[in-house]
Amino acid sequence: MFRSRALPFDPRANKIVSLQSLKFHHGGLCEDYVSTLNRDIADTPIQNADLFTIITQSFREARGEECEFSQISKLYQICLGFSRIFNNASEIYNHDFYFDCIAQPSKPSGELTDALAQAFGGIENFKSEFLKRAMGLFGSGWCWLVCDERGANLEIITTQNADTPIARGKIPLLACDLWEHAYYIDYQNARKSYVESFLRFADFGFASDAYSWAKKQGLSSVKLYISELHPAASSRCDCGYCG
């Protein structure tokens, strides 16, 4: 069974969102994602699967694609379906990553600085484009800086609702939560002000580290990140995929 991780920063000192907002966001919603996922996979062949596997394979199953969970999907035809499992598992990862991205204000460094210059013409141009993409997302979702599985081709993408780049083989470097619950207590409906604050105080040092690991290990860097935060409950899983 999975556990909600502790915040990687002092919630009383965050420069982007308030303590009150974090109590609701992390202490309420994120706890619900974890408890719901644990209930949905309890006493099933995937109850001991690692979180990365649950995210990527339930994404494929929810889309009707062949995957390692397909042979056990009948368990869910009379229950909730893999879409709910994906949504909660994905949101656990998305929020873990987001909270690391707002842990402490820092500037990009090393390879990420060069990559941002090459892809966007520099950090300020990147921030302008990120803000534009975030404001262009209708409804709830996420705005991301990602690279491909080789640690190349930086791009800004948005995902709707609980969707996540890792389900499509993209490696996240920076994530901004655009669900209203992330900012409404502090900014009401002023999403632009929230995103501007995010970009001003984001932890680009964390993004720089994520990029360095992406270039070294590719998508395995995502698997390692997830496994360190959420170790599989058991070394044995019956899903047929984890091994």
pLDDT at 62: 56
pTM, whole model, 2 decimals?
A: 0.90
Do the beta carbons of residue 174 and residue 183 sit within 8 Å?
A: no
220-to-35, 92, 150, 214, 227 alpha-carbon distances in Å: 26, 18, 10, 8, 10
Per the CB < 8 A criterion, the answer to whether 42 and 48 are in contact is no
The confidence score (pLDDT) of residue 75 equals 44
What residues have CB less than 8 Å from 161, skipping those under 6 apart?
87, 139, 140, 141
Distance (Å, whole) CA 239 – CA 67 = 11
For the segment(s) 16-228, the CATH number from 2.60.120.380, 3.30.300.30, 3.55.40.20, 2.160.10.10 is 3.55.40.20
pLDDT for residue 242 is more than 60: no
Please report the pLDDT score of residue 44 as a whole number: 81
- pLDDT tens column, 194-224: 999 999 999 999 999 999 999 999 999 999 9
Query: Which residue numbers belong to the known binding site?
Result: 25, 95, 177, 181
Q: Which residues are annotated as a binding site for Mn(2+)?
A: 25, 95, 177, 181
Token pair listed for 241? 């995929």
Identify the DSSP state of 230: S
Distance separating alpha carbons of residues 40 and 119, to the nearest angstrom: 41
**Highest mean pLDDT (candidates 57-61, 65-69, 169-173):** 169-173
**pLDDT of 71-130, one tens digit each?**
444 444 434 456 889 999 999 999 999 999 999 999 999 999 999 999 999 999 999 999
